[in-house]
Chain A
Amino acid sequence: MNPAGRLTLYLALMSSISFGGIPSVLPDIRHFVVVANPWLTERDFADFFALAQTIPGPNMILMMSLVGWKVAGFTGALTSAGATALPPCAMYVAAYRLLDRWRDAAWQKIARASLAPLTFGLIVAGGTVMAETADKTVAAAAITAVAAVYVLATRRNPLWMIGAAGLLGAIGLV
């Protein structure tokens, strides 16, 4: 099979098992496209990752489209993005419809009551792990704390917080 086809199949498999999000299978993908196949250099992979972080939108899908582009041009970009996004989306919709059909079943009430607290913990943990990489200075840690209180104490648009923090960064205070 040609490289684009192999990459597409591989990404479809990876996205289907990426519990916790695409970043959880990033090490495997890196190995596949840098080591097992001579498609990207180490540097390409790191650049695509950093670049995808700076551009708004779903950044892991964007990153995989760049990987695909490097391997097989625009066709590769399209099929790679599709392989990253579509299998999980099909599963989300199918699972959600099943849940909806048996919304009032006793087992579902138990499952919901049991698993929701896990979700709350996971989200706070996700924010904390992001904060550990982002907060290199006292000012940065203070911004994180203020942003958390901002969400808890107000119903204002989070963009104000993002904008203020971006401004502080732009004038060199972070």
Chain B
Amino acid sequence: MQRAPLGALFCEFLKVSLFGFGGGIVMAHRAAVEQRQWLTEGEFADILTLTQLMPGPNVVGVAVCVGTRTRGLAGALAAFAGFVLVPGALGFALALMWLGRTDIPLVANVLRGVGPAAAGLMIGTGLRLLRPHRGDARTVVVAMLAFAGLALARFPLLLVLAILAPLSIAATLYQREAAR
């Protein structure tokens, strides 16, 4: 773990927030793990797991947890300020200006291209997090079941978690016993 400067936390999460386009996880991973190396791949996966399983705006959770990990409460506040406060204030001002003239064709066209790319980046990031575990049948099967339950069967998230979390824990315990 690296001790991150508060200013760098603020700036990185400001960038992630402004350029994340709905896929903030992709940019946050790139900034915190690959470029700044504040966390390892595994520590980042821990944070993702925690925030995905808790209520609230998940990506904001990633920002405050990375801040907490690297600089404690001050880090959480710096990441929050960069990720939420500044873009929120700018966005609010912009929104008030735009209200009433939302149908600008060029903007709509650009968004038609950006939306599919953002979705693909998110799919790729999930697969990339899974890649180091591809030799482990249990991990791959649970990930595929979670994907199928949400994306294919369209079950509610809470139902998917309530069914798969106990199953996955049982499989982990069984795997450990078998390895002994």
Contacts and interface: CB of A to CB of B under 8 A. Distances in A.
B169 A111 contact: yes
Contacts of B51: 92
Contacts of B8: none
B171 A161 contact: no
A121 B128 contact: no
B91 A62 contact: yes
Dominant secondary structure of chain A at its interface with chain B:
helix
Interface residues of A, number: 96
B116 A135 contact: yes
A33 interface: no
A93 B73 contact: yes
A35 interface: no
Interface in B139-180: 139-147, 149-151, 156-158, 160-161, 164-165, 168-169, 171-173, 176
Q: Which among B48, B56, B88, B107 has the greatest number of chain A C-beta atoms within 10 A?
A: B56
B30 A91 contact: no
B143 A124 contact: yes
A99 B50 contact: yes
Chain B: interface residue count, which band?
35 or more
B168 A118 contact: yes
Contact of A124 (B17, B21, B147, B165): B147
A126 interface: yes
A56 B122 contact: no
Contact of A140 (B53, B59, B112, B123): B112
Interface in A14-42: 15-22, 24
Given A157-B30, A169-B109, A127 B120 contact: yes
B102 A51 contact: yes
Interface of A: 15-22, 24, 47-48, 50-62, 65-66, 69, 77, 81, 84-85, 87-89, 91-93, 95-97, 99-100, 110-131, 133-136, 140-141, 143-152, 155, 157-159, 161-162, 164-170, 172-174
